């Protein structure tokens, strides 16, 4: 049998979202250790190892990037255009970062989420990571801009199927306004404050606390917390 089947490396790339009370951000890394070009940002990713599932590879990438084990993640698509790594700069970087003669690269893209103010412990090969607002993304190598675009569509499905992931983006105690701003950032629209409160009280797995903001120069907002036990019961109910 003719052996013209592809025999290739496979990578994972992770689109990690964060939220800062204003807009969604994505965690990008600097491609070159000796970067002198601030524009040289890309999605964190890695080739996958032998005996490693793609999901595990994504967890590994995220762990090396953030120091966090078991981050919430979701595979959303395989990108495999034969031309996705055909830019000379990208091919050169592949040669340096991995080994020569990678002539094609298939990647499996993941969505993930991280509190934006969490202290990250970067033990990856990348010099630095940088939260970048989705409205100000640079031109990135390979098809990473396309991957991000697709991830933004996909995140709606994810929120609707598993709203728990929203709370990966918020502090343990959060105000109604913070949650509303998060919805507004994800869905890129405004929500009426009163209607949003009604929506909130219907989410039984969000518990109001007695605690309130302190040292704010306006009326202090109530804190809420996510209650995983109630949330899990909800799923049984379906």
Could you tell which of a copy of itself, DNA, none binds residue 183, using a CB distance below 5 to 8 A set by kind?
Answer: none
Of the two residues 82 and 208, which places its CB atom closer to DNA in the complex? Answer: 208
Q: Is there binding between residue 177 and DNA (CB under 7 A)?
A: yes
Q: Is there binding between residue 83 and DNA (CB under 7 A)?
A: no
CA distance 1 to 191: 60
Q: Is there binding between residue 204 and DNA (CB under 7 A)?
A: no
| Contact by Cβ (8 Å): 169, 113 | yes
Q: Which long-range contacts (CB under 8 A, 24 or more apart) does 151-156 make?
A: 151/15, 151/17, 151/76, 151/109, 151/111, 154/74, 154/76, 154/77, 154/111, 155/17, 155/111, 155/186, 156/186, 156/187
Q: How far is the CB of 219 from DNA (least distance, A)?
A: 3
Query: Contact region for DNA (CB under 7 A) — 54-62, 79-87, 143-151, 186-194?
Result: 186-194
The sign of the dihedral angle between the CA atoms of 166, 169, 170, 171 is: positive
Could you tell which of a copy of itself, DNA, none binds residue 232, using a CB distance below 5 to 8 A set by kind?
Answer: none
The two tokens of residue 150 are 């697709």
Site string for DNA, 214-233 (x = CB under 7 A): xxxxxxxxx-----------
Q: Is there binding between residue 195 and DNA (CB under 7 A)?
A: yes
Could you tell which of DNA, a copy of itself, none binds residue 176, using a CB distance below 5 to 8 A set by kind?
Answer: DNA
Query: Contact region for a copy of itself (CB under 8 A) — 28-36, 73-81, 172-180, 183-191?
Result: 73-81
Q: Which of residues 76-95 bind a copy of itself (CB under 8 A)?
A: 77-78, 80-82
| Contact by Cβ (8 Å): 83, 91 | no
Binding residues for a copy of itself, rule: CB under 8 A, are: 1, 3-10, 47-55, 75, 77-78, 80-82, 98-99, 104, 106, 108, 157
């Amino acid at each position: 049998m003719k052996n013209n089947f592809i025999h290739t490396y496979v990578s994972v790339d992770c689109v990690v979202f964060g939220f800062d009370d204003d807009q969604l951000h994505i965690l990008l890394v600097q491609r070159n250790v000796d970067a002198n070009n601030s524009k040289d940002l890309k999605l964190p990713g890695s080739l996958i190892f032998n005996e490693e599932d793609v999901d595990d590879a994504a967890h590994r990438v995220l762990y090396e990037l953030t120091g966090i084990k078991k981050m919430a993640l979701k595979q959303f698509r395989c990108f495999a255009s034969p031309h996705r790594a055909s830019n000379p700069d990208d091919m050169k970087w592949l040669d340096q970062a991995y080994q020569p003669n990678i002539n094609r690269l298939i990647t499996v893209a993941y969505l993930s989420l991280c509190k934006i103010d969490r202290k990250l412990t970067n033990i990856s090969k990348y010099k630095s990571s940088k939260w970048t607002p989705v409205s100000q993304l640079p031109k990135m190598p390979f098809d990473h801009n396309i991957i991000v675009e697709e991830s933004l569509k996909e995140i709606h499905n994810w929120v609707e199927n598993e709203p728990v992931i929203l709370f990966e983006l918020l502090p343990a105690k959060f105000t109604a306004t913070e949650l509303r701003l998060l919805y507004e950032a994800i869905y890129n629209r405004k929500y009426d404050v009163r209607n949003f409160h009604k929506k909130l009280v219907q989410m039984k797995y969000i518990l109001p606390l007695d605690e309130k903001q302190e040292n704010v120069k306006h009326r202090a907002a109530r804190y809420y917390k996510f209650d995983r036990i109630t949330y899990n019961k909800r799923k049984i109910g379906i």
